[in-house]
């Protein structure tokens, strides 16, 4: 009844025919992107719940004779609500899962060669999306305003502040004065709940729009079954939708499981900001930058006249990560393809690209291990050697395996 009434006015039949029958190819690695998307949805939903009680202010409030920052106190109040603490942990875990899923999704796209023409645009959009997700993670980390938040965000401020010439102005603008100023928490809050989610929604929308317009890439075995230009898979409704619902609820249940057994960012344990600095490590997805900062020798200073210089923090915290991310972003433009690629391409057809991909993954792992250099008691010179040597070794091993395989 309702459907017919609406259909007469909106021509829903046409919509159904055009979109609900859209074909989705099936492969387990297609779910990485979906998991990232669903984590984002969960982040928004749990985030709205947290917004009901969070106070974005570092002003001190008196609670039971103790002076606590208002933001920190509001987190304690959230934790005291019946479902508060678990929803906070689900929110935090969802951020980790989203970034992990984005990385796996990117690895899949890279090794299946589907970043090539015509999908260069979506590779770039994906890189922007990934960067925004990391920024959202960083700003979110600062909001509980416990001692860890303040130290970690303070380090971010100092890295920006150390850029020659423009650094101090940028840092003061972004953090609303010298961190932690009274304006810092409201400003980071605005980035975290308005600006970054908005930009993320736009980039996610663009990513999907381009994907729908270009159609999915397909596993290469589909080439022999489906006619060229056709997609072999299942329709959006009802088959793909049921799969998606399964993935959504599976993600949600895994998040609740993680939140129940592995509490993250326990503010009561860390306590409100103090003069002392606790042992801090950035989240795992920034550990590689932390590793670079530790590797750069303190005397690596590039002088720029008498009033400024490029300090090791700028080299390790901004320049090198920027170069690495730019190289990754430019990957599709290193290939000259005449024909558009619509099926996955075996990784062995790109021996250099595949070997470089493995080398990059090994490099990220080596740098992250370097983040724990002091705890593992590895001398820093050993770290410097293996961070350079292991990726090169990995490159050649992969390269020769591929060559051997092709000869057979």
Indicate whether 305 belongs to the interface with other proteins (CB under 8 A): no
Distance CA 28, CA 99 (A): 18
Indicate whether 275 belongs to the interface with other proteins (CB under 8 A): yes
Distance CA 267, CA 265 (A): 6
Both structure tokens of 351 = 């021996």
> Of 313, 343, 353, 398, which one interacts with other proteins (CB under 8 A)?
313
Residue count, binding to other proteins (CB under 8 A): 53
CB closer to other proteins out of 209 and 301 = 301
Q: Which residues pair with 61 in a beta bridge?
A: 68
> Of 35, 133, 314, 347, which one interacts with other proteins (CB under 8 A)?
314
Indicate whether 220 belongs to the interface with other proteins (CB under 8 A): no
CB closer to other proteins out of 66 and 230 = 66
Site residues for other proteins, 8-37, by CB under 8 A, read none
Stretch that binds other proteins, among 24-32, 127-135, 276-284, 350-358 (CB under 8 A): 276-284
Both structure tokens of 170 = 């940028």
Site residues for other proteins, 123-152, by CB under 8 A, read 151
CA distance between the termini of the chain: 65
CB closer to other proteins out of 173 and 249 = 173
Contacts by 296-305, CB closer than 8 A, 24 or more apart: 296/320, 304/164, 304/165
CB closer to other proteins out of 63 and 374 = 374
Binding mask 91-110 for other proteins (x = CB under 8 A): --------------------
Distance CA 259, CA 88 (A): 8
Indicate whether 53 belongs to the interface with other proteins (CB under 8 A): no
CB closer to other proteins out of 55 and 162 = 162
CB closer to other proteins out of 122 and 311 = 311
CB closer to other proteins out of 22 and 172 = 172
Indicate whether 69 belongs to the interface with other proteins (CB under 8 A): no
Query: Could you tell me if 353 and 398 are in contact, meaning their C-beta atoms sit under 8 angstroms apart?
Result: no
Q: Which residues pair with 304 in a beta bridge?
A: 308
CB closer to other proteins out of 205 and 297 = 297
Indicate whether 280 belongs to the interface with other proteins (CB under 8 A): yes
Q: How far is the CB of 380 from other proteins (least distance, A)?
A: 7
Indicate whether 345 belongs to the interface with other proteins (CB under 8 A): no
Binding mask 163-202 for other proteins (x = CB under 8 A): xxx-xx--xxx--xxxxxxxxx------------------
Both structure tokens of 325 = 């991310």
CB closer to other proteins out of 308 and 397 = 308
Indicate whether 159 belongs to the interface with other proteins (CB under 8 A): yes
Indicate whether 42 belongs to the interface with other proteins (CB under 8 A): no
Residues near 24 by beta carbon (within 8 Å), at least 6 away in sequence: 30, 216, 231, 233, 234, 235, 236, 240
Helices 31-51/84-111 angle, 10° precision: 150
Residues near 112 by beta carbon (within 8 Å), at least 6 away in sequence: 29, 217, 344, 345, 347
CB closer to other proteins out of 132 and 314 = 314
Give one DSSP letter per residue of 291-349, joined into a string. HHHHHS-TT--EEETTTEEE-HHHIIIIIHHHHHHHHHHTGGGG---SSPP-B---GGG
Q: What is the CA radius of gyration of the chain?
A: 24
Residue 76: strand, helix, or coil: helix
Strands (E), 236-360: 302-304, 308-310
Residue 102: strand, helix, or coil: helix
Query: Could you tell me if 210 and 125 are in contact, meaning their C-beta atoms sit under 8 angstroms apart?
Result: yes
Query: Could you tell me if 261 and 45 are in contact, meaning their C-beta atoms sit under 8 angstroms apart?
Result: no
Phi-psi region at 264: left, alpha or beta (left = phi > 0; alpha = psi -120 to 50): beta
> Of 114, 122, 149, 162, which one interacts with other proteins (CB under 8 A)?
162
> Of 121, 199, 231, 308, which one interacts with other proteins (CB under 8 A)?
308
Indicate whether 271 belongs to the interface with other proteins (CB under 8 A): no
Stretch that binds other proteins, among 64-72, 203-211, 277-285, 350-358 (CB under 8 A): 277-285
Q: How far is the CB of 196 from other proteins (least distance, A)?
A: 16
Query: Could you tell me if 79 and 85 are in contact, meaning their C-beta atoms sit under 8 angstroms apart?
Result: yes
Q: Which residues bind other proteins (CB under 8 A)?
A: 151, 154-155, 158-159, 161-165, 167-168, 171-173, 176-184, 274-280, 290, 293-294, 296-299, 301, 304, 307-314, 316, 373-374, 377, 380
């Amino acid at each position: 009844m309702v459907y017919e009434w609406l259909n007469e006015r909106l021509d829903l039949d046409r919509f159904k025919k055009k979109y609900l029958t859209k074909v989705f190819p099936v492969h387990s690695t297609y779910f990485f992107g979906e998991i990232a998307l669903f984590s984002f949805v969960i982040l928004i939903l749990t985030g709205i719940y947290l917004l009901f009680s969070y106070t974005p202010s570092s002003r001190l409030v008196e609670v039971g004779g103790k002076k606590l920052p208002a933001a920190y106190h509001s987190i304690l109040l959230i934790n005291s609500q019946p479902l508060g603490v678990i929803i906070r942990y689900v929110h935090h875990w969802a951020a980790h899962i989203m970034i992990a899923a984005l990385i796996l999704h990117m690895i899949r796209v890279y090794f299946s060669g589907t970043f090539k023409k015509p999908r260069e645009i979506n590779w770039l959009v994906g890189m922007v999306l990934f960067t925004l997700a990391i920024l959202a993670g960083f700003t979110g980390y600062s909001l509980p305003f416990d001692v860890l938040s303040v130290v970690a965000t303070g380090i971010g401020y100092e890295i920006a502040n150390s850029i020659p010439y423009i650094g101090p102005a940028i840092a003061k603008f972004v953090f609303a004065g010298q961190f932690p100023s009274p304006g810092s928490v409201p400003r980071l809050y605005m980035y975290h709940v308005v600006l970054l989610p908005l930009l993320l929604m736009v980039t996610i929308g663009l990513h999907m729009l381009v994907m729908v317009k270009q159609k999915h890439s397909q596993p290469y075995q589909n080439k022999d079954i489906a006619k060229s230009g056709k997609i072999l898979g299942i329709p959006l409704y009802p088959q793909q939708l049921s799969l998606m619902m399964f993935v959504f609820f599976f993600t949600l249940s895994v998040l609740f499981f993680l939140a129940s057994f592995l509490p993250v960012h326990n503010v009561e344990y860390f306590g409100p900001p103090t003069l002392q600095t606790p042992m801090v490590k950035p989240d795992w997805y920034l550990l590689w930058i932390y590793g670079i900062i530790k590797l750069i020798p303190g005397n690596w200073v590039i002088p720029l006249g008498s009033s400024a210089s490029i300090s090791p923090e700028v080299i390790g915290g901004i320049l090198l990560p920027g170069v690495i991310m730019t190289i990754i972003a430019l990957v599709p433009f290193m290939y000259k393809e005449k024909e558009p690629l619509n099926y996955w391409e075996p990784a062995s057809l790109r021996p250099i690209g595949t070997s470089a991909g493995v080398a990059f993954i090994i490099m990220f792992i080596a740098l992250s291990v370097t983040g724990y250099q002091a705890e593992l008691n590895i001398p820093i010179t050993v770290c410097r050697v293996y961070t350079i040597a292991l990726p090169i070794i990995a490159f050649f091993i992969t390269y020769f395996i591929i060559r051997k395989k092709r000869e057979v």
